[in-house]
Amino acid sequence: SQTIHQWPATLVQPVGSPLSLECTVEGTSNPNLYWYRQAAGRGLQLLFYSVGIGQISSEVPQNLSASRPQDRQFILSSKKLLLSDSGFYLCAWSVASWGYYEQYFGPGTRLTVT
């Protein structure tokens, strides 16, 4: 069966510090990978998605970047965190099934920028 891991689970970082969040998927090959952010009391915001190694698409201009160095690894980074980067960061994966896409989420990383 497929599993998705995210770490760390929680993170408190000062403004201006760098960020690296990691997501890995097991049990599937060539998944589509996604990074979402969920701000407190708000909905999901898609940040990045990737259809393959080295292929990253950004949905919104922002202070963050993403990379996919391996098939089942997705990394979210920032060189200098802003207060507005606080939130619940979720990684998700999907594969094509009969033309539609269900997305399966990881446990999330709760980031607080102080």
Partner 1 sequence: DAKTTQPTSMDCAEGRAANLPCNHSTISGNEYVYWYRQIHSQGPQYIIHGLKNNETNEMASLIITEDRKSSTLILPHATLRDTAVYYCIVRAPTGANSKLTFGKGITLSVRP
Q: Which residues bind partner 1 (CB under 8 A)?
A: 6, 32, 34, 36, 43-44, 46, 49, 51, 57, 59, 88, 90, 92, 94, 96, 98-108, 110
Minimum CB distance to partner 1, residue 21 (Å): 13
Nearer Cβ to partner 1 (36/74): 36
Nearer Cβ to partner 1 (12/51): 51
Nearest to 71 by CA among 21, 20, 33, 103: 33
Q: Please enumerate, as own/partner, the contacts of 99-103 that have beta carbons within 8 Å and a separation of 24 or more.
A: 101/32, 103/34
Nearer Cβ to partner 1 (9/83): 9
Minimum CB distance to partner 1, residue 34 (Å): 8
Buried b vs exposed e over 31-43: b needs ≥16 C-beta within 10 Å?
bbbbbbbeeeeee
Nearer Cβ to partner 1 (15/52): 52
Minimum CB distance to partner 1, residue 16 (Å): 27
Alpha-carbon distance of 91 to 86, in angstroms, equals: 16
CA angle, 59 then 64 then 108, to 5° = 85
Minimum CB distance to partner 1, residue 111 (Å): 13
